[in-house]
Structure 1
């Protein structure tokens, strides 16, 4: 994928790689019937359980992600089903993030108990060090691929947890295209570090 074909946040052009452009997403939103909107609100209400999203916030987050291109709706997909799936995914990620928080409380100067939230994985120094090392490796590989936008986008998608079909769909590539990109990445790393990754 080159710079000219890369989707830009807020781009309102034509569908790219079989996905709705922002302009089409807005048109689909405008054409939703009252019954369809009600159905989406009910789905949102069900999906909000266990999250800290207020009424309407999960729905709004899903819409924002679709409009700016963080989530891309395939042209052939049901728009309502896609939004429902997006809300499910966003809520699931939020629940996981909230479950990793450890509540701590302290009393402020006026005697009021204040709850503080700290991510549980921040309390494990070994895990923090491993995450830092992994981030350093990703940065190094990303720099090795300077000028290869497709490979850099692939690295970013993998780091974001994408894999398989969702990764290929996000990048707009086929399996053989993905295999070729991974071959280029492996080649770049092997060329820079012929004796293996330095410890």
Structure 2
């Protein structure tokens, strides 16, 4: 018998199952702490408990439900996969809350509340903008944690709890974010 997970996409453009496992095992203790902090932010409002979202992201990568391109840092791939899974889980939960059992009017209402093509485009553009901003801080894990917290509308004590950073670290990360954004986008963000 073979291994339980075999990635059928062994093209050279994506990491194989063995490479994914190796990349995960090669994560430093600091990277694993960052993953746990990011997961603590992302699991809010989902059915996932702490530790399950990272596991789910890895399983989806190993089963080729998600493929990690070779030119993308593994940590960034894992974080983006966790974000996507959590977002889909929250949306599925909202849909089930909007549908009363056996209510045809409720299902028609849910269908009419589906995002319009324009809303979908705005959401995709927002996701691309967020990714572009996060890419500016690949070398600054504290700034990444603050940005992820802001993305989840966390402020103050909630941001400190979710990131594991003290107020001084958060303030300094915010200062670095502002300076880098002014330098990178001197005329403001182009939409």
How high is the TM-score relative to the length of structure 1?
0.47
How high is the TM-score relative to the length of structure 2?
0.49
Which structure has the higher relative contact order (CA within 8 Å, separation 6+)?
2
- Greater helix share, 1 or 2? 2
